[in-house]
Amino acid sequence: MDGILIAVGIIVLLVIIIGIYLVTTYNGLVRTNVRVDEAWSDITVQLKRRADLIPNLVNAVKGYATHESGVFEAVTAARAATINATTPGEASVAENQMQGALKSLFAVSEAYPQLQASQNFLQLQGELVDTEDKIQASRRFYNGGVRELNTKIKVFPNNVFAKRLGFSAREFFEVADSAAIAEPPRVQF
């Protein structure tokens, strides 16, 4: 009889330990998942801020370089792609387009000394550089959260339960041409 009680006690203790492990693992995964969602939201806020600056920047340059319509169309298309990106992969592709378009826009602006002296243009350019810095910081925070979440999901014994609890690895925000975004666009005066 004592042997049965000890066996039942051990089984109950194991069930309690496994239950506590599952609850703490689940709660940890939920917290990390929410941090990743928050970080992605921060990226989209900064991308939106940049997208809102772009039309003002384009209009400032347009006043001086009306014949550069191809550059303006490329910037507009890149802005639309950035706004419509919903996943890190789509955002990465949009980032490549945006960086190329901005470089072209700033290359056009360098040909116009009056534009380079414009306080409005300089302020917009400064805000854009600041926003690019914030986007990079947001990307680092997001990728750090994704790394933490993916690690928690893939380590043993979490990997046994994570998928059953509804968690899956998240996608990093990587840009195909990392050299293109290593630094914010620059305008040399």
Q: What is the pLDDT of residues 34-93, one digit of tens each?
A: 999 999 999 888 888 888 888 887 777 766 666 667 777 888 888 888 888 888 888 888
pLDDT at 155 over 80: yes
Q: Is the bond into 88 cis (omega within 30 degrees of 0)?
A: no
Q: Flag whether 189 is in a domain.
A: no
Say if residue 31's pLDDT is above 80. Answer: yes
pTM score > 0.85 for this model? no
183's torsion region: left (phi>0), alpha (psi -120 to 50) or beta? beta
Q: Is the pLDDT of residue 144 over 90?
A: yes
**Residue 187 belongs to some domain of the structure:** no
pLDDT at 181 over 80: no
Say if 186 falls within a structural domain: no
Query: Residue 188 falls within a domain, yes or no?
Result: no
Is residue 48 a part of any domain in this protein? Answer: yes
Give the mean model confidence (pLDDT) for residues 100-105. Answer: 80
Nearby residues of 54 by Cβ (< 8 Å), 6 or more positions away: 75, 76, 79
In-domain check, residue 42: yes
Residue 189's pLDDT band (cuts 50, 70, 90): very low
**How many separate domains does the chain show?**
1
> Is the model more confident about 136 or about 110?
136
In a domain, 61, yes or no: yes
pLDDT above 60 for 179:
no
For residue 188, pLDDT beyond 50: no
> Residue 7: which domain range?
2-181
Local confidence band at 114 (pLDDT 50, 70, 90 cut-offs):
confident
pLDDT score for 182: 52
Q: Looking at mean pLDDT, say which of 23-32, 169-178, 179-188 comes out highest.
A: 23-32
What is the DSSP secondary-structure string of the chain?
A: -HHHHHHHHHHHHHHHHHHHHHHHHHHHHHHHHHHHHHHHHHHHHHHHHHHHHHHHHHHHHHTT-TT-HHHHHHHHHHHHHHHH--SHHHHHHHHHHHHHHHHHHHHHHTT-HHHHH-HHHHHHHHHHHHHHHHHHHHHHHHHHHHHHHHHHHHSTTHHHHTTTTT--PPPP---S-GGGGSS------
- The encoded tokens of residue 38 equal 């928050």
Question: Can you tell me the mean pLDDT for 167-187?
Answer: 67
Q: What is the CATH number of the domain that holds 21?
A: 1.20.1440.20
Task: Report if residue 72 sits inside a domain.
Answer: yes
pLDDT for the residue numbered 187:
44
Question: pLDDT at residue 157 above 70?
Answer: yes
DSSP 172: P
